[in-house]
Each structure stands twice: as C-alpha cells, then as structure tokens.
Amino acid sequence: MNKLHSPKLLKYRSLATEAPRRSITLIDAISLIVGLVIGAGIFETPALVAANTGTTNGVLWIWLIGGAVSLLGALCYAELATAYPHVGGNYYYLKRAFGQPLAVLFAWARMTVIQTGSIALLAFVMGDYASQLFPLGPASASIYAAITITLLTLINIIGIHQSKQTQNWLTAANILGLLLVIVLGLALSPAALPSPPAASTTGSWGLALVFVLLSYGGWNEAAYISAEIKTPQRNMVRSLLWGIGIITTLYLLLNLAYLRGLGVGGMAGSPAVAAELLRQVGGEAGATFISLLVVIATVGSINATIITGARSSFALGQDVSLFRFLGTWQPKPSSPTAAYLVQAGIALTLVGLGTYTRQGFETMVDYTAPIFWFFFLFSTLALIVLRFREPFRPRPFRVPLYPLIPLLFCIICGYLLYSSLVYTGIGSIVGVVVVLLGIPLIRQSQNPN
C-alpha cells in the first residue's frame, strides 16, 4: 500500500483539516462573555477604585466609564470578528494585518503567558475562597486550583456541547447570586452614615481606571468563537453588545449596594467589600455565601478561558510545524483535544510556580498584564491596517465614527500597557522573557495560506 494513502495518514489529515462546527447560539455566546468577565475582579477591585476616586459620584462615574471603554473596544472587535470569522481570533487578525511573525509570537505568548497565566490566576482566587469553605491543608488553594483546571479541561475535551452547557449554568448561577447581593445590599443593608470623602494616597483616576478595566477584562475573547457561533454576521455584534450591557448594569448596581451599605470611606478601607456588606445583612452566613459566589464566578471564568484559549493554540498548530499536533480538531466531540491538554499542562506548571513563590495571585497578575495590553493594542491597530489593505472585504458590521473610535481605543490600550509596566514587578520581566523565547518559532512558521 502506498504510504501516502495509508489509513493512519489519511486519518491524521482528516483530523487536521476538520473544521469547527457552528454550534454556539447567541445565548451561549452572551453566557461565555459574561462568564469570562465577571470573575473575581468585582469582589476585589471596588475598594481600590473607591480609594482612588474618593467620592460617591466618582465611584459610579469610573465604573460607567469602564463600561464605555469596553464598548469602544467591543465595536472594534465586532467588525474584525464579522469580517474575519476564524477560530484563531486575534491570531488571524494579526496574521492578515502584520504578517506571520507577529501572529506566531502572539499565539506563543497566549499559550505560555496570557491565557494560561489567566487560568492559573483565576484558579488561585477560586482556591483561596474554596479553602474558606472546606480547607484541605497548607496547600489547599493550590490543590483546589489544580483539581479545577484538570476537571474543566476534561469537560471541554468531551465536547463543546458539554462545555457550553457547563458555562451556561455557571453564568446563570453567578448572575442570580450577584442579583441577590444587589437586592440584599439595597433593600436590607442599613444605610451607611454620611462620611467625608475617602482618604486617598494617590487620588489617581487613571489608576482607578486600570482596576476598573481589569474587572471588565475578557469580553475580547468572544473573537475566538466567531467560527463556531451561528449566524456570526448578526450574533457576534449582538453577543458583545448584550454581554457588555449586562456586565455594566450589574457592576453599577453592585457598587450602588456597596456605597449604600458601607459608604465610600467604608469601601476604601475594606479588604472584602462584598463579604463585609453581606455580613451586615446576614452575619457570618452572609460572608459564607459570598465565598461560595466567588467560587462559582471564578470557576465560570476559568471554564470560559479554557474554551477560548485552546482555539488560538489550534491556529498556531496549523502554521508552525513544531506544533503541528496542536492543529488537529477531533470531529466527534468537536474539540481541539491536543490544544486543551497542552494548555492545561502549562497552566498547572504556573500553579506550581505560584505555589513556590507563595504569592499566586500577585505573581500571575505581574506575569500576564504587560503582554496582554501589548497585543491588545496591536489587535486594535489591525482593524485600521486591514481597512487600508483590504478595502473591498465584505464587512457586515463597521465601526461607527471610524477612525476616531479605533484610535481612541488604541490610546487607551497604550496607556494601560504603560501602567502595567510601571505597577508590576519581577513577574512582568519573567513574562516578557518567556515571550521572547518564542522568537525562534517564527522561522518554523509556514507561509500564510
């Protein structure tokens, strides 16, 4: 038998060329976006935002501004995702706009730093709160983190149907929990006594915006399901707009509840605003409820991050011979199995690193932030480049007020890149070094199709 037509080789080629199926509905996409964004951030950052704005109106305005900035970015991504629906998302945009080298470096960064670091970061937060409910010993947070990454990866390997159903249930439980916090905070919490503006050592609205946008981060991951969402020309835009609208509304209502129960001064001085608010209403049972809610929120974010992270690794495997095994799509479960396994392995390694440094959350923030904003900036620039380079490309959705909105969002990304370099430590240097290690891969990349 001719080796070129052997059953084993034909099977491999079939798996490698298997295309993702359009099985994600509008509701699934909205659930994914909301689940990606509403993780631990809204339970951690409100105190820092209050400390830097210092007034009640300032707190509400900065969260509203954060939603508006996210909307600007979503409009840019909506055009890219509808004009170029591809499983590689940002990887594909960078490839078409700037060529293979930058795209390959991005995919490497995403696989080794951005996405896997985010998974590990969220897993540490989940482990910290789960340990408040059921401690597992000195390394309890790390054990919970490793178990969660492993179980969610297995669910995603089984297939997109199981992973999206898991995501829908987690997102629904998260939203219901947040609504309960809002209702209890606004209706039952005793109104805080009038207090002077919060004492702030910096009084920096810019720094406050950094924390706010950290809490809004993740909506851009919707680009990686553009090849799997049904009717992408319509549902891609709808999912982004509905998702950010829901998130902004919840964030504003939560901060209203925090302000009513604690006041801006109480928020600024609280290490856990949600727990303190619920403790006023329900005692320690209220604080326990918040721990459970954070666990649900972070598990939902981890699952959504796992779903989108493997897609760019799959795209990398199709272009770089060294990672060709990542570019296989299993047809029956409809999942990039190899990409899931490699992603889980790297994330578990980073959990080990965070355990060793004993500063899991902080280490992962430093590790991921500068690289994330660097490539976010170039992904937005890709929109402008592709408008010039491919003017006749069908664009079902066009950014209004072009080029003002893309340029404004680029400026914001540049500022946040600068801020992430200024406010992070040794972890950011490690992240940059890991990305630079991917430069030799550029030579092995294949020519674009």
Give the pLDDT confidence of 247-289 residue by residue, as tens digits: 999 999 999 988 888 888 888 877 667 777 877 777 778 778 8
Average pLDDT, the chain: 80
* Model confidence at 447: pLDDT above 50: no
Structural domain includes residue 214: yes
Sign of CA dihedral 402, 408, 411, 413: negative
Total structural domains within the chain: 1
> When comparing pLDDT for 172 and 279, which is higher?
172
User: Can you tell me the distance from the alpha carbon of 36 to that of 170, in angstroms, rounded to the nearest whole number?
Assistant: 11
Give tens-digit pLDDT for 182-207: 888 787 766 655 555 555 445 577 77
* Model confidence at 372: pLDDT above 50: yes
* Model confidence at 449: pLDDT above 70: no
User: Can you tell me the distance from the alpha carbon of 8 to that of 39, in angstroms, rounded to the nearest whole number?
Assistant: 43
Give tens-digit pLDDT for 76-135: 998 998 898 887 788 889 999 998 888 888 888 888 888 888 888 888 878 877 887 888
Residue 120 and residue 347 in contact, taking contact as beta carbons nearer than 8 Å: yes
Domain at 252, CATH number: 1.20.1740.10
Closest Cα partner for 431 from 209, 122, 118, 45?
118
Residue 428 and residue 114 in contact, taking contact as beta carbons nearer than 8 Å: no
Q: Which of 158-162, 168-172, 177-181 has the lowest mean pLDDT?
A: 158-162
Which position has the token pair 């491999």? 12
The contacts found for 319-323 with CB under 8 angstroms, 24 or more apart, are 319/95, 319/100, 319/103, 319/104, 319/107, 319/445, 319/446, 319/448, 320/104, 320/107, 320/441, 320/444, 320/445, 320/446, 321/444, 321/446, 322/441, 322/444, 323/441
Structural domain includes residue 10: no
Structural domain includes residue 112: yes
Name the H helices within 22-114: 26-37, 41-44, 46-53, 56-83, 90-98, 100-109
Structural domain includes residue 234: yes
Structural domain includes residue 8: no
* Model confidence at 429: pLDDT above 80: no
Which residues span the domain enclosing 169? Answer: 21-444
Tokens at residue 92, please? 């594909």
Q: What is the pLDDT of residue 431?
A: 76
Q: What is the pLDDT of residue 9?
A: 43
Structural domain includes residue 367: yes
